[in-house]
Homo-oligomer: A and B are copies of this chain.
Amino acid sequence: MLDQIQIILSHTTHPGNIGAAARAMKVMGLSQLKLINPKFFPSAEATERASKAADILSNAKVYTDINSALSECRLVVGASVRTRSLPSRLVTPRELTTIIKQKPENQPIAILFGTENSGLTNDELHLCHYQVYIPTNPEYSSLNLASAVQLISYEMRLAFAEMQQLPEAKVNANEQSITQQQFDSLQQHFYQIMLETGYVNPHHVKQLENRLNRLLSKAQVTQSENRLLRGFLSAIEKRRRRVSQPQENEEAMLEREKYDV
Contacts and interface: CB of A to CB of B under 8 A. Distances in A.
Interface residues of A, number: 79
Copies of this chain present = 2
A211 interface: yes
A92 B166 contact: yes
A57 to B, nearest CB: 14
Contact of A255 (B85, B199, B219): B199
B199 A256 contact: yes
Contacts of A218: 218-220
A236 B236 contact: yes
Chain A interface mostly: helix
A133 to B, nearest CB: 6
A23 B141 CA distance: 10
Given A83-B169, A215-B221, A235 B199 contact: yes
B197 A27 contact: no
B142 A158 contact: no
Contact of A157 (B135, B144, B157, B194): B135
A21 B31 CA distance: 25
A21 B36 CA distance: 28
Q: Which of A27, A146, A216, A231 has the most CB of B within 10 A?
A: A27
A28 B221 CA distance: 37
Q: Which 9 A-B pairs have the closest CB atoms?
A: A198-B252, A219-B219, A199-B235, A198-B249, A29-B137, A197-B235, A87-B169, A147-B150, A243-B243
Given A154-B154, A239-B240, 13 more contacts: A23-B142, A23-B144, A27-B142, A87-B169, A92-B166, A133-B167, A193-B236, A197-B232, A197-B236, A199-B232, A199-B252, A211-B224, A215-B219
16 contacts: A27-B137, A27-B140, A27-B147, A28-B136, A28-B137, A52-B142, A83-B169, A137-B161, A150-B150, A194-B232, A197-B252, A198-B251, A211-B225, A215-B219, A215-B221, A240-B243
